[in-house]
Every structure is written in C-alpha cells, then in structure tokens.
Structure 1
Amino acid sequence: MIASCLVRDGGIVILDDHPESTWLGVGEAPAHFTHAQDRLVPFLTGWSKVWLATKSHVDEYLQVARKNPKVFACSEVRGSKVAIGGAVTCYTGPSKE
C-alpha cells in the first residue's frame, strides 16, 4: 500500500515470490492488493514475479512486452494470459506447456 502511494506515474512495482505455495497468502496477495487500491495494476507475471504499473502506463508497458518476445516471451500467440485480481497480465516465464 505504501508503494501505491509513493510511486510516480509511470513507475513500476515488482512483487517477488508469486505464487509461492509454501507461504499461505503470498499467491493471493496481489489479487487482494489490486482490489484494495486503484492506482497500480498488474501487467506482467512470471519468473516468480508480478509487475505492476500505474494505470496510465499499463498499456504502454504491455505493448513494449509484446514487441520484445526475446526479452519478455509473452504474446497473444502463446495464449500467455494470467488474470490477477481481475486484471489480465502477460505471462513471461518458462513455458506453461
């Protein structure tokens, strides 16, 4: 909640250890956080991280991710969408196949 108040427009907050099955609540925390505030929105998931950005920049960051598949490895073709708290994110991590 502190990060959502302090981050500037265009800033990114990265949550670590998601989803962590050995720590109860860690997997649910991003969804609860997304519903508890309306400034930061998750846009990328993968490699045990959730990337959140201010609403004003989410679309811009998603475009960058989709245009750089060698870096982010997420695309509509791979069907790599993951929903967190109602927000559809782009999955960038090891193949889910």
Structure 2
Amino acid sequence: MAQNSVTPPSAGHSYVGMWVTADGHIRHNLLPNGRYDEARGNRESAYQGRYEIRGNHIDYWDDTGFTADGTFIDGVLHHAGMILYREK
C-alpha cells in the first residue's frame, strides 16, 4: 500500500485516541496525524510508526519495518491476539 493512499484520520475520527489492554500493560495512542505510539508496561514509546484505517480495519507500519493489523469490533480493537479498549 502506498503511504499516501489514504488521508490520515482527523482528530474527530472515532478511533483516534488511546486504546489499552484490560490490564493496562499495552497502550496504543492513535494520533490524528496517522501516527501511533505504543507503550508496553513501563516502556513508553516502545513502538512507533504509522497507521491507516479503512472501515473497521487498521494496518500498522512500525518505523523498524514490522507490520501488523487489527479490527475494530463493537468498539473494541482486536490486534495481534490482544484486545484493547478505548480509554475513557
């Protein structure tokens, strides 16, 4: 996929914001500029990169070259075997 094939989500996009696992260990901050910042435990910014959302599907491209994807189902993000909830 070309990097500029999709316009980054706006700040008002329903999926922009913080998503966390139930135990709070994994935290995905989906930024409105199409970038994400993932924290793991005490390690802030453990992974960073860009993301694109199409419908309820999200693709991630880590700055190190790692790729992943996920699906939003009923307001919950299912990603790489993890379940992340919208931070309130």
| TM-score using structure 2 length | 0.24
Q: Which has the higher strand share?
A: 2
Which structure is larger by alpha-carbon Rg, 1 or 2? 1
Structure having greater relative contact order (Cα 8 Å, sep ≥ 6): 1
